[in-house]
């Protein structure tokens, strides 16, 4: 965190913390699913983690279509 703050203060490019936090939360979700299989289905957990990226892609395409239509109206 200190290196991240220093890089921001100096105007340098800082490494992203997003990938690490996403991987950590996915790992924790899988560990919880493995620990409590009677309450949490492992395959559904993994499917749910992957579904987020499909939703992001679909949203991106919709945003591009909307942006394209707005540009045509000008």
d(CA 1, CA 47): 31
Name the DSSP letter for residue 16: P
| Contact of 42 with 33, CB cutoff 8 Å | yes
Q: Quick: pLDDT tens for 24-49.
A: 999 999 999 999 999 999 999 999 99
Bigger pLDDT: 56 vs 9: 56
* Cα(47)–Cα(16) distance, integer angstroms: 25
Q: Where are the domains of the chain?
A: 2-73
Residue range 4-30, pLDDT digits in tens:
778 778 887 766 668 888 899 999 999
Contacts of 34 (CB under 8 A, 6+ apart): 42
What is the pTM assigned to this prediction?
0.62
Percent of the chain whose predicted confidence (pLDDT) is above 90: 59
Q: Alpha carbon 22 to chain centroid distance?
A: 6
């Amino acid at each position: 965190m200190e290196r991240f703050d220093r890089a921001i203060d100096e105007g340098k490019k800082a490494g992203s913390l997003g990938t690490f936090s996403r991987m950590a939360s996915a790992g924790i979700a899988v560990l919880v699913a493995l620990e409590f299989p009677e309450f949490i289905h492992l395959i559904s957990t993994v499917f749910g983690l992957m579904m987020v990226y499909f939703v992001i892609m679909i949203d991106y395409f919709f945003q591009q279509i909307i942006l394209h239509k707005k540009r045509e109206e000008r």
